[in-house]
Amino acid sequence: MGLMSRSGLAAFGGVGFYILAWCASAAALFAAGSSDAVAAPIILAVTGAGFSFFAWLFTRGAEAPAIRVRHPGLELGAVLVFLALYAALFTGYGLNAFHAAFAPGRLEALLLLALKLVVHVALPVLVLLAVGAQPGALFTARVGSRGFWPILGVLGAIALAFMCVVSPSLKHIAALKLSPSVLAAATVGAFAWLSVEAALCEEFLFRAVLQTRLAAVMRSEVGAACVAALLFALAHVPGLYMRAGADVSGHSASLLQVIAYAVAVLSPIGLGLGVVWVRTRSLLLVVLLHTLVDLLPGISDFAHTWISAA
């Protein structure tokens, strides 16, 4: 009974804290006159609430396997220290230094891919091994589990349709004036690239590594998904704040506005994917869904790097 009470309190606290943080952030964007204040509630409804609802709907009656965490407090502490260093040194200073050192192009893209895999996958694995964890259990596909294909099909279609409406991606793709065959190749190539460069890196670190440890300490999967979503958003803040160019989504000279953008706009995506992870324990599924969210905006970038230069 005590364990259930603690779990329920953690769930209530996690959800309540998330709602307060999101509402405060959305209000800050509205007060600043940001156009993102309009998009934020839509993103919350579609990716936060929508993804969570369908993940639950398609997995009713099924329990995803538990992932054993041997030393919850120690492992979470090590992961949080790593994330603090990651946010301060990599997403801000590290990436800025990298882009300053290499000219845009294929070589830069390949080196950045390797760097991201080291930072998001290899180093977290080493951190977990150092504290006696078993990270191999996190690399799960579970393709045959209940809900895998319905979730992928429905949420993938929602993600693509949503990005068609809220982003200028289709206009950017049309401006490339690619032939149908080249466009198809660029789409497949962008999907494969983004699935590793963006989706695998972030989903392994924030869902498989971080959220699993949070759940073990909080004893609440719901509370852990909410807290992990906020940390996922906040980890992007140094990069958004330090990145030059007002054309970058979320960029602002105001640190508080960047934080508000991250929580109001980015955290719902983390929340929805976090619930999918809870209900399926499939790293492959959250990677594929993350890729579909990023796909349309990524096609033009992929084409510029790998096709235009050909």
Model confidence at 253, in pLDDT bands (50, 70, 90)? confident
> What average pLDDT does the segment 235-239 reach?
92
Distance CA 305, CA 245 (A): 20
pLDDT of residue 250: 58
> What average pLDDT does the segment 99-123 reach?
95
Model confidence at 242, in pLDDT bands (50, 70, 90)? confident
AA letter at 88:
A
Model confidence at 1, in pLDDT bands (50, 70, 90)? very low
pLDDT at 300 over 50: yes
Q: Tens of pLDDT along 13-53?
A: 999 999 999 999 999 999 999 989 999 999 999 999 999 99
Identify the sign of the CA torsion 232, 205, 285, 73: negative
> What average pLDDT does the segment 102-128 reach?
96
pLDDT of residue 179: 93
The whole model's pTM is what?
0.94
pLDDT of residue 249: 63
Distance CA 34, CA 30 (A): 6
pLDDT of residue 245: 52
pLDDT of residue 5: 67
> What average pLDDT does the segment 107-112 reach?
96
Q: Give me the DSSP letters along 175-204.
A: HH---HHHHHHHHHHHHHHHIIIIIIHHHI
Q: Give yes or no for a contact between 224 and 214, defined as CB atoms under 8 angstroms apart.
A: yes
Distance CA 177, CA 171 (A): 10
> What average pLDDT does the segment 235-244 reach?
84
pLDDT at 248 over 60: no
Token pair 């600043």 is found at: 32
Q: Where are the domains of the chain?
A: 33-60+73-306
Distance CA 292, CA 160 (A): 6
Model confidence at 246, in pLDDT bands (50, 70, 90)? very low
